[in-house]
A and B are shown apart, each in its own frame.
Chain A
Amino acid sequence: MLKRMSYSSFPEDVLEHVFSFVQSDKDRNAISLVCKSWFEIERWCRRRIFVGNCYAVSPRMVIRRFPDVRSVELKGKPHFADFNLVPEGWGGHVYPWIYAMATGYPCLEEIRLKRMVVTDETLELIAKSFKNFKVLVLSSCEGFSTHGLAAIAANCRNLRELDLRESEVEDLSGNWLSHFPDTCTSLVALNIACLGSEVSFSALERMVGRSPNLRTLRLNRAVPLDKLANLLRRAPQLVELGTGAYSSDLRPEVLSNLAGAFSGCKELKGMSGFWDVVPAYLPAIYPVCSGLTSLNLSYASVQSPDLIKLVSQCLNLQRLWILDYIEDSGLEALAASCKDLQELRVFPSEPFGVEPNVSLTEQGLVCVSEGCPKLESVLYFCRRFSNDALVTIARNRPNMIRFRLCIIEPQTPDYLTHQPLDTGFGAIVEHCKDLRRLSLSGLLTDRVFEYIGTYAKKLEMLSVAFAGETDLGLHHVLSGCESLRKLEIRDCPFGDKALLANAAKLETMRSLWMSSCSVSLEACKLLGQKMPRLNVEVIDERGPLDSMPESFPVEKLYIYRSVAGPRFDMPGFVWNMDEDSALRLS
């Protein structure tokens, strides 16, 4: 006798239980497409949502589909906003989302925002709307002050995480921290590294003292080194520590006190901060070096010999962010000691200097690519490179997934052959088959884009500047890169043809940014009118578009897919190119 399994008779709560093991958004989305009943069950039990572009969908639509969400993550401005290419006032306001969720998601527990404008009013609304609020992460956000933080501190009784990473906060008073009631003992993570002025140290100390679950503490620069030891003694269970200013008058007791405090931190895995470093105090952290997996020294103006001494003790290091003071010699030492290294970021100490101030070249990166078999993520600023070096790196590290190279002077050719760096980057995409993110620099022709279109099948994000020769370059990328989600281009001679020919591709991507290129107003209008599910936004500060000739290249263009239609909060220098807008423009 045949027993037939009928999926439709599977009890709902069993399905729900099964779905609870599936956390990734992609998989959840796939589940929801199986059939109507699965769609229904899944949407009721989805607890976390991620919206990569806050304008791609409206808060109302989200709340309607997913009625019981506990965790929301939103991103606002385009990535190039980090480099001041997006004028102030562009948008990315989170308030409409919070307002909608205040009624739609009263049980909301976590909010994570990136590159969004957050006002004090927003923070106050969060503080009073969500009774069980636990996690607030504001990454590269702006628009709020310490008053807003005070509201969060005072009202969120069960707050676990307050992380302000690299946000711009108007510092009105350090007293906001004192608004945490003495009964608040739930803190797990506190990151105030971006705050400019002093927070009340006694409030901080008390807070740390009564938070037994505190795992992450990132102090701001205003916390002096001689107070650090006391804090550490109250929180020996810390896993991640960001120091304040790492300098003090040289007094032996401070050093020994600090070293003693660090010895007590047996769980410490990650360190950051290190502003204003006085090298004589670096040995204080030697007791914890062997346990460190993550080290951010990217604000530490310390010379190579001291850096080498430090880094060669961190045998378990997986992630290192550092300034180019480390030089090739330091990277050689790194390659010899840190065999578990996965991520390396080398930042420029003098990005605007014309002459190199340190001896950091392509050699350093080549060394690390040879010595560190797990190296998969690289951000490297330097002043010269060669195709040979790129080919070597590509061959050494086919496991590379993120490769961002910034040769500081635009359009710098291979320093050995004076050729473009097409073949070098070509080798990267050819060998590194799982490459997800790539940033190009140096002298590049259309050829590099041909390689990228041919080989970079897993590439999700591409950043291009001062590269290429004709529309063919852009066409290679748009037609060849199957996994492309984000493309950002500045100062390249790409115009209308490639864009219009690949219009359909744009609906498969999250967004396209093009600034200082050669895309005409006419092409933007055409795209906007033909593609209703794209928001084609022209950003142009030169004046009203209606007096601009159609053939004129626009200053900046931001195209993103959206089911929410044109947004309502565009400032005066942003125009949407859809049909209605086009009518208004003419």
Chain B
Amino acid sequence: MEVGLKMANMLGAADRDLNLKETELCLGLPGGGKTEPETPKTGNKRGFSETVDLKLNFQSKEAVDLNEKNNINNSSSSKEKNLLSSCTKDPAKPPSKAQVVGWPPVRSYRKNIMAHQKSSSQEDGEKAAMSGGSSSAAFVKVCMDGAPYLRKVDLKMYKSYQELSDALAKMFSSFTMGGNYGAQGMIDFMNESKLMDLLNSSEYVPTYEDKDGDWMLVGDVPWDMFVDSCKRLRLMKGSEAIGLAPRAMEKCKSRA
């Protein structure tokens, strides 16, 4: 598989009309590429085929979103580039505060404490039990099998699996693109049999540790529930993830 990513191509495409990009990891719902992935209306229980649509195609034609985190642009040229991402926010709309990284400049130490305090002082007693609190930050460690160091993401920065997947792709692209780790990227979860094939391969599977300490497959539950229960993320090699699928199904069933 051609993994070599030619950024020159991608960036040359910046001036052209930029639609859906097929380059990246998408944790979108089936049909993918929607700007605003809907949260499933049917509640927790979903079969695998409906859970996640993960695709990675490193034969890129489009440019990467350059200033994904920089939502407030001062240069007009980069405004165009912001149109790239299929998951981008509408550039004409001013970004809401929560999306600007590191602004206002409140230390995450403080944000986390305030979040925890607010939830415990709320009348809603059960909220006090939740470790994440009702607002602000939810930092979790992200590790990728084979990568030399871990990363951290604030799950509250994202509104959907799609956005998270984009961010993770960016973060770990330096490993996957160079081909050093032989990664072929995330896998396609379109259907169960394909899932089984791919789980046997060396590609990566996104998993997370939930509040109970169990390792789950990313994408089963509604986004908000995921954010509240996710304690850490692990991009696991496909061949190691085989044991997860049945467990995830069990958990799903037990929640029904």
Out of B8, B98, B103, which one reaches A547, CB within 8 Å?
Answer: B8
Q: A410-B103, A547-B7 are in contact. Are A518 and B152 (CB under 8 A)?
A: no
Q: When chains A and B are docked, how far (Å) is the Cα of A206 from the Cα of B174?
A: 51
Out of A168, A298, A348, A516, which one reaches B104, CB within 8 Å?
Answer: A348
A301 close to B121 (CB less than 8 A): yes
A201 within 8 Å of B by Cβ? no
Out of A411, A466, A547, which one reaches B5, CB within 8 Å?
Answer: A547
B69 within 8 Å of A by Cβ? yes
Q: When chains A and B are docked, how far (Å) is the Cα of A547 from the Cα of B107?
A: 35
Chain A positions 404-433 with a Cβ under 8 Å from a chain B Cβ: 406, 408-411
Residues of B within 8 A of A352 (CB): 97-98, 135-136
A residues near B (Cβ < 8 Å) are 80, 82-85, 87-89, 140, 166, 168, 194, 275-276, 298-299, 301, 347-352, 354, 381, 406, 408-411, 439, 463, 465-466, 490-493, 516, 518, 541-544, 547-549, 552-553, 555, 571-573
Out of B109, B114, B170, which one reaches A349, CB within 8 Å?
Answer: B114
B121 close to A82 (CB less than 8 A): no
Residues of A within 8 A of B171 (CB): 87, 541
Residues of B within 8 A of A166 (CB): 107, 109
- Which of chain A's residues has its CB closest to B65's CB? A542
Residues of A within 8 A of B19 (CB): none
Out of B5, B10, B102, B120, which one reaches A490, CB within 8 Å?
Answer: B102
Chain B positions 5-20 with a Cβ under 8 Å from a chain A Cβ: 5-8, 10-12
Q: How far is the CB of B67 from chain A (nearest CB, A)?
A: 6
Q: How far is the CB of A353 from chain B (nearest CB, A)?
A: 8
Q: When chains A and B are docked, how far (Å) is the Cα of A14 from the Cα of B75?
A: 62
Chain B positions 79-122 with a Cβ under 8 Å from a chain A Cβ: 96-98, 100-111, 113-114, 117-118, 120-121
A88 close to B174 (CB less than 8 A): no
Q: When chains A and B are docked, how far (Å) is the Cα of A136 from the Cα of B243?
A: 45
25 A–B contacts from the bound complex (CB under 8 Å): A82-B108, A83-B108, A84-B108, A84-B154, A85-B102, A88-B151, A276-B120, A301-B117, A301-B121, A347-B110, A349-B114, A350-B135, A406-B104, A410-B100, A463-B105, A466-B72, A466-B74, A492-B74, A493-B75, A516-B67, A518-B75, A543-B173, A544-B177, A547-B7, A549-B8
Q: How far is the CB of A224 from chain B (nearest CB, A)?
A: 14
Q: How far is the CB of B116 from chain A (nearest CB, A)?
A: 9
A542 close to B178 (CB less than 8 A): no
**Given A84-B101, A408-B97, A544-B174, 13 more pairs with CB closer than 8 A:** A275-B117, A348-B104, A354-B96, A381-B106, A493-B75, A541-B170, A541-B174, A543-B173, A544-B7, A544-B178, A547-B11, A553-B66, A555-B67
B178 close to A491 (CB less than 8 A): no
B218 within 8 Å of A by Cβ? no
Residues of B within 8 A of A299 (CB): 110, 113-114, 117
Q: When chains A and B are docked, how far (Å) is the Cα of A168 from the Cα of B6?
A: 39
B74 close to A573 (CB less than 8 A): no
B151 close to A89 (CB less than 8 A): yes
B104 close to A553 (CB less than 8 A): no
B226 within 8 Å of A by Cβ? no
Q: How far is the CB of B148 from chain A (nearest CB, A)?
A: 8
Residues of A within 8 A of B75 (CB): 493, 518, 553
Q: A166-B109, A352-B97, A406-B104 are in contact. Are A541 and B152 (CB under 8 A)?
A: no
Number of A-B contacts defined by CB within 8 Å: 135
B170 close to A542 (CB less than 8 A): yes
Residues of B within 8 A of A140 (CB): 107, 109
Residues of A within 8 A of B117 (CB): 275-276, 299, 301
Q: How far is the CB of A47 from chain B (nearest CB, A)?
A: 32
Residues of B within 8 A of A548 (CB): 7-8, 11
Q: When chains A and B are docked, how far (Å) is the Cα of A572 from the Cα of B70?
A: 21
Out of A85, A409, A573, which one reaches B174, CB within 8 Å?
Answer: A573
Q: How far is the CB of A497 from chain B (nearest CB, A)?
A: 14
B7 close to A83 (CB less than 8 A): no
Of the candidates B78, B100, B103, B113, the one having the most CB atoms from chain A within 10 angstroms of its own CB is B103
Residues of A within 8 A of B111 (CB): 351
Main secondary structure of the interface of A (DSSP, over half): loop
B104 close to A408 (CB less than 8 A): yes
Out of B64, B72, B106, B177, which one reaches A347, CB within 8 Å?
Answer: B106
Q: How far is the CB of B103 from chain A (nearest CB, A)?
A: 7
Q: When chains A and B are docked, how far (Å) is the Cα of A347 from the Cα of B174?
A: 37
A83 close to B103 (CB less than 8 A): yes
Q: A84-B102, A406-B104, A548-B11 are in contact. Are A516 and B70 (CB under 8 A)?
A: yes
Q: When chains A and B are docked, how far (Å) is the Cα of A166 from the Cα of B100?
A: 23
- Which of chain A's residues has its CB closest to B106's CB? A351
Residues of B within 8 A of A406 (CB): 104-105
A275 close to B113 (CB less than 8 A): yes
Of the candidates A276, A518, A547, the one having the most CB atoms from chain B within 10 angstroms of its own CB is A547
Q: When chains A and B are docked, how far (Å) is the Cα of A89 from the Cα of B144?
A: 13
Q: When chains A and B are docked, how far (Å) is the Cα of A166 from the Cα of B109?
A: 7
- Which of chain A's residues has its CB closest to B4's CB? A547
Q: How far is the CB of B101 from chain A (nearest CB, A)?
A: 6
Q: When chains A and B are docked, how far (Å) is the Cα of A82 from the Cα of B113?
A: 15
Q: How far is the CB of A499 from chain B (nearest CB, A)?
A: 15
Q: When chains A and B are docked, how far (Å) is the Cα of A572 from the Cα of B96?
A: 31
B5 close to A543 (CB less than 8 A): yes
Q: When chains A and B are docked, how far (Å) is the Cα of A88 from the Cα of B78?
A: 25
Q: When chains A and B are docked, how far (Å) is the Cα of A549 from the Cα of B6?
A: 11
Contact with A along B159-188 (1 / 0, CB 8 A): 000000000001101110110000000000
B149 close to A543 (CB less than 8 A): no
A543 close to B7 (CB less than 8 A): yes
Q: When chains A and B are docked, how far (Å) is the Cα of A381 from the Cα of B105?
A: 9
B150 within 8 Å of A by Cβ? yes
Q: A83-B103, A492-B74 are in contact. Are A572 and B174 (CB under 8 A)?
A: yes
Q: When chains A and B are docked, how far (Å) is the Cα of A82 from the Cα of B178?
A: 30
Q: How far is the CB of B4 from chain A (nearest CB, A)?
A: 9
Q: A301-B117, A301-B121, A543-B64 are in contact. Are A83 and B105 (CB under 8 A)?
A: yes
Q: How far is the CB of A165 from chain B (nearest CB, A)?
A: 10
Q: When chains A and B are docked, how far (Å) is the Cα of A200 from the Cα of B131?
A: 22
Q: How far is the CB of A298 from chain B (nearest CB, A)?
A: 7
Residues of B within 8 A of A80 (CB): 102
Of the candidates B11, B72, B104, B173, the one having the most CB atoms from chain A within 10 angstroms of its own CB is B104
B102 close to A549 (CB less than 8 A): no
Q: When chains A and B are docked, how far (Å) is the Cα of A549 from the Cα of B81?
A: 14
- Which of chain B's residues has its CB closest to A168's CB? B109
B6 close to A88 (CB less than 8 A): no
Q: When chains A and B are docked, how far (Å) is the Cα of A549 from the Cα of B63?
A: 12
Q: A83-B105, A299-B114 are in contact. Are A552 and B11 (CB under 8 A)?
A: yes
Out of B74, B104, B106, B121, which one reaches A276, CB within 8 Å?
Answer: B121
A89 close to B149 (CB less than 8 A): yes
Q: When chains A and B are docked, how far (Å) is the Cα of A381 from the Cα of B97?
A: 15
